[in-house]
Structure 1
Amino acid sequence: MAAGPSGGSGQRRLRGSPEEILAGLRVRSEVGVRQRWRRVRASSVLAFQAGVAAALSWLFANNVLHHPQPVFAPISAVIVLDISSGQRLRRTAELVFGVALGIFIGDTIVFGIGTGAWQLGLVVFLATILSVFIGGTPAVVSNAASSGVLIATLSPPQKGVYYLRFEDALIGGLIALGVMALLLPANPVAAVARKAGPACTVLSDGLAQAAHAMSTRNADEADEALTHLQQAGLTVSQFRDALPESRETARVAPLRWRTRSALGKYRNAAEYLERALSNTRVLARRVVTMIRDEEPIPEHLYQSVYTLAEATKEVRKSLLSSRPDSKVADLSAQAVGEAAEAYRNGLSFSGSAVVAQIRAIATDLLGTADLPHGEANELVRRAGGNPAKP
């Protein structure tokens, strides 16, 4: 018999005294409010910038240039300062071009054959097709189509093509860039640092888990480490993807010009962390095979991987403190030395492949410490007991 309204899962959710139920609801409500408030705080500066830019765009176009109903000026400002924006200089150019194309097509079609449902459909069709034909990005295509819709519905031309609408779009985009550069510009280093920390953590955790799997000869744990490392690509990509907008902010905002050198260090670190992640995946894959094939796993080998995990933690500390740290180089060299000792003690095929990946990962981590590639290779060779190149 099916459970009634008072039975089944409903009873489990409402179990307890009325005071306990109310207390649980109050806690969940407070947690939800705090989460929403954090999201509001994170978006408050951008919302303030967008509001100021929209107001200034309208005032300038309407009161200074005397454009009648300059609706495209605040629209352009808001789009440029959109929450999901990437590189705003490029987006501004795309916005102006897309809006201009949509205005031209809309004004031409509507002025020639009038307004109506089929005229609106024709405007959108032609704006989309022409944008795609000339190689426009998705932003150009969407702006051209949406501008054509506004022209064909809300503001059809009466006496000819209006060039003022193109000027309004340009004014809104430029004012938005000015507001972004001068009014509470975001801290580009802080924005990148929020992504750099998790990128280092996922790599360090993957190395530590692979080392533990080697020490316990647990192939399932090694396979789990490989799965986590494959999923970690998204975290490292988010770190890399945060760099273009941060570099743009550092270029256009005078208050943030001093952060450009620090961002250069993050750019190099992102490149080397991606390489290290790729090499760590190969290492984890060979660890799985090594355990399942029951190859010898000397203590120095898994201790070397543990040391690499510690070196990766030091990379995070070095990036967040913006100060060079010799611990990254020391730990990387130590890991290579431990791997070389394991190799001298005798390894099979997969074990030898793990040693090769350890050397590659150590070289990558040395790159995050601003060590030139040639010097990093030489340091790895010396730490591994190889003679220096002449």
Structure 2
Amino acid sequence: MTTSGPLGASGDPHEHDGRARSRWAQLTRFGRRRVRSGASRARSALVPAATSAIAAVGAYVFAEQVLGHHQPIFAATAALIALGFGRDPRVRKVVEIAVGCTLGILIGDLMLTLLGANWATALLVVFVSTIVARFLDSGVIFTTQMSLQSVLVVLLPLPANGPFDRSIDATVGGVIALVITLLFPKNLQREPAEGLRRLYSTITEVLRDCSMALRTHESRHAWMGLVSCRGTQSILDDLRKDLKSAVELATYSPTKRASRQILDETQDTVEMTDLAVRSLRIVARRVITVVDQAMLDEDGMERLADWFDEAADAVAILGRSLSEPGVPGRHRSLSVARDALGSATAQLDPAQLGANTLHSEALVMLLRPMMVDFLEATGITHDEAVSYLPHLS
């Protein structure tokens, strides 16, 4: 008879050791993942951390050494709050937060002067500052920080030179945060380039899905492409936000005005790509119809599948071109992409692609405006893009 002991149900010490080793291996893998992810976060935080430190200490030193304020802690805290630790400190956002911090402290100073330092004043100051913070910004963290600043105004001892020194300190912190944002902005092209890579990678896959649907006579591939295509709207929305922030900084920053040209070109590219994606959604739905209702013979299916593959290759080249950091290199790469797109566009004749039914002809005709939009995304005019289309008899 087998008895159950402390080593497990079977009492086998090898089984117990195996479970212990398995748990240890899991813990080790978990620890390694945490260390890698933590190291990655720490590396990406090096520049923001250094910027925050410079802003906070610089504001404190300026208020103390230049203005002669005693322990100007609100200069440092206002600089940190205004600068934030996000990936895209916008000029308008920094100004709004700096003004909000200053107003919060000013409200506390005024109420402290009029009502005196007591619990009722502290209650009123926190309430009013919270309302002002919610009016200025929707972020919960900002509201919490502003409320904390306002209650500190009431609870900390009055400065030697009077209560309003703290409002001046907050203004100093906000101004220094704004100056740092303007003089040392982030890489303005990195985030739009990353967004464009994601967008064009998805577009390329959608075109390949359409090719696969035609080649295999399985419309589910086109359905998958259609779902992916619909999901590009969030990427486009994020791209527009990133570009708006980047253009804003390039407009006001004396060190980044040279980036304005490529950012303006990128904005035009995003708008034309948006139009092309809208057409692509319609194309994917038409491919589903053509495949499900067998509206093309085998030769027509193969020709159109080959065309979608060629278009996918051309769009992939365009996506890589748009991530080029320098203007000259970008323009050279876009010229290559334009040639590839133009070659695919020149084939969009229903007869040439074997589209011999009404629905298949409609599919080819839908491809024509889509490719014109992709060509315009390379930076050429509408008339130049249209000139790549073959004349229809």
TM-score (norm 2): 0.80
Question: Contact 2:90/2:249 (CA < 8 Å) preserved in 1?
Answer: no
Distance verdict in 2 for CA 1:129–1:58, change over 3 Å:
closer
Counterpart in 2 of 1:306? 309
Question: Contact 2:217/2:291 (CA < 8 Å) preserved in 1?
Answer: yes
2:211 maps to 1:211: yes
Question: Contact 2:104/2:132 (CA < 8 Å) preserved in 1?
Answer: no
Q: Distance in 2 between matches of 1:16 and 1:348?
A: 67
Counterpart in 2 of 1:340? 349
Counterpart in 2 of 1:10? none
Which amino acid letter does the alignment assign opposite residue 262 of structure 2?
A
Counterpart in 1 of 2:84? 82
Q: Distance in 2 between matches of 1:335 and 1:157?
A: 73
Point out where structure 2 has 5 or more consecutive residues left out of the alignment: 1-5, 10-15, 325-329
What per-residue deviation string (whole Å, max 9, x for no partner) do you get for residues 221-244 of structure 1?
221211122223323333333223
Question: Contact 2:82/2:98 (CA < 8 Å) preserved in 1?
Answer: no
Structure 1 residues 115-124 or 330-339, which shifts more? 115-124
Q: Distance in 2 between matches of 1:5 and 1:241?
A: 60
Distance verdict in 2 for CA 1:118–1:355, change over 3 Å:
farther
Q: Distance in 2 between matches of 1:373 and 1:296?
A: 31
How far did 1:77 drift? 1.7
How far did 1:60 drift? 0.2
SS at match of 2:367: helix
Counterpart in 2 of 1:44? 46
How far did 1:65 drift? 0.3
Q: Percent identity?
A: 26
Mapping 1:42-81, distance limit 5 Å: 42-81=44-83
Q: Distance in 1 between matches of 2:320 and 2:278?
A: 22
What per-residue deviation string (whole Å, max 9, x for no partner) do you get for residues 172-199 of structure 1?
122223334445x533223432332122
Counterpart in 1 of 2:368? 359
Counterpart in 1 of 2:245? 245
Question: Contact 2:355/2:364 (CA < 8 Å) preserved in 1?
Answer: no
Counterpart in 2 of 1:295? 295
TM-score (norm 1): 0.80
Mapping 1:175-186, distance limit 5 Å: 175-182=176-183, 185-186=185-186
What per-residue deviation string (whole Å, max 9, x for no partner) do you get for residues 243-293 of structure 1?
233334444555544333232332222222222222222222222233333
Distance verdict in 2 for CA 1:18–1:148, change over 3 Å:
closer
Counterpart in 2 of 1:11? none
Query: How much is the aligned-residue C-alpha RMSD, in angstroms?
Result: 3.5
Counterpart in 1 of 2:281? 281
What per-residue deviation string (whole Å, max 9, x for no partner) do you get for residues 134-180 of structure 1?
x64436983765543333344679997x4333322221122223334
Point out where structure 1 has 5 or more consecutive residues left out of the alignment: 8-13
Q: Distance in 1 between matches of 2:390 and 2:320?
A: 26
How far did 1:202 drift? 1.2
Counterpart in 1 of 2:102? 100
SS at match of 2:349: helix
Q: Distance in 2 between matches of 1:6 and 1:149?
A: 59
How far did 1:97 drift? 2.5
Distance verdict in 2 for CA 1:222–1:191, change over 3 Å:
closer
Distance verdict in 2 for CA 1:113–1:372, change over 3 Å:
same
Q: Distance in 1 between matches of 2:218 and 2:356?
A: 21
Q: Distance in 2 between matches of 1:341 and 1:15?
A: 70
Q: Distance in 2 between matches of 1:98 and 1:77?
A: 12
SS at match of 2:323: helix
Structure 1 residues 120-129 or 353-362, which shifts more? 120-129
Q: Distance in 1 between matches of 2:161 and 2:53?
A: 33
SS at match of 1:320: coil
Mapping 1:1-390, distance limit 5 Å: 25-84=27-86, 86-115=88-117, 118-129=120-131, 136-138=136-138, 142=143, 145-154=147-156, 162-182=163-183, 185-296=185-296, 298=300, 299-321=302-324, 322-324=330-332, 325-341=334-350, 345-349=355-359, 351-376=360-385, 378-380=386-388, 383-386=389-392
Distance verdict in 2 for CA 1:36–1:137, change over 3 Å:
closer
- Whose radius of gyration is greater, 1 or 2? 2
Q: Distance in 2 between matches of 1:48 and 1:129?
A: 32
How many residue pairs were aligned?
371
